Amino acid sequence: MIKVFHCGHDSHHKKPCDILHPTGLNNYLFLLVKQHAWVYIDGQKHPVQPNSILLFPPNIPIHYGCDAAGYNDDWIHFDLFDDDRMLLDSFSFPYCDILHPRDFHRLSDYAKMISDEFHLDGLYREDIIDRLMHIFLYALDDELKKTAECSAVPSAIQKYHREFAQIRTQIYNAPSADWSVNRLADTLCLSCSHFQHLYKRFFGCSCQHDIILARIALAKFYLATTNMGICQLSLFCGYETDLHFMRQFKRYTGVTPSEYRMQTRSSDIQP
């Protein structure tokens, strides 16, 4: 189990701060730094850029701060029990080091959920926090690995990843919407060609191709799980005509919608 002893989200310091724990703490500390700051590592002062994370283990001196007003961070004091100690070790997060996750804001969102739950008096409060902390650790490992994979990608491109990921989620959540690449590009103040280039770089296919894949995936689900008619389904998935739907479905799956429904239904009744 992972137990949180204290935490906070989006904490602000109105004045410059200098925080020193000379003998460390008796628990672990995650810092999610959102403003320019500094930290001492092995006796040397190092700058910390916004959107960085630091993990301090118990009983290690901690010294960090900010020379300007407005220092801002999320922080989680926690400890681990039973098998979760081995879980943390398995991730191999470097202690007392400056970590740069690709999508810092994703992790800050989880920190907010942990903080919100911590300050509630819910019946399952500790169990919910334990599970959120597990999610946070897995997400941190995921983001650090993505950072390593994308180290060759220019930072000018990486900064758009979160916005593009949100757009892709919206597309898959509502494939039938009247999606326009031009309008999507406008939301990020990008030219259509630049938007398309970045989308393909992030996800390996064009935005228009992804919209089609999202609609086909939606159609597959309803063909396999409902008796919705082909004409009704084509409108439900965002197609103007059932003919267009059937042609595109066969092009991407190799079978017609009716054939796909028969295949999935027959596989469900196999002994």
Beta strands in 36-113 (DSSP E): 37-41, 44-48, 52-56, 62-66, 71-80
Question: What pLDDT sits at residue 271?
Answer: 44
Question: pLDDT tens, 131-190?
Answer: 999 999 999 999 888 776 655 555 556 678 878 888 999 999 999 999 999 999 999 999
Phi, psi (deg, nearest 5) at residue 180 = -130, 125
Question: pLDDT tens, 83-133?
Answer: 888 888 899 899 999 998 888 999 999 999 999 999 998 899 999 999 999
Mean pLDDT of all residues in the chain? 90
Mean pLDDT of 214-226: 94
Beta carbons within 8 Å of 233's beta carbon, 6+ residues apart: 219, 222, 223, 245, 257
Q: Which pTM does this prediction carry?
A: 0.71
Beta carbons within 8 Å of 239's beta carbon, 6+ residues apart: 215, 245, 248
What is the spatial distance between Cα 56 and Cα 48, in angstroms, rounded to a whole number? 15
Beta bridge partners, 74, equal 32
Contact 228, 236 (CB under 8 A): yes
Question: pLDDT tens, 207-218?
Answer: 999 999 999 999
What is the spatial distance between Cα 57 and Cα 244, in angstroms, rounded to a whole number? 59
What is the spatial distance between Cα 36 and Cα 49, in angstroms, rounded to a whole number? 5
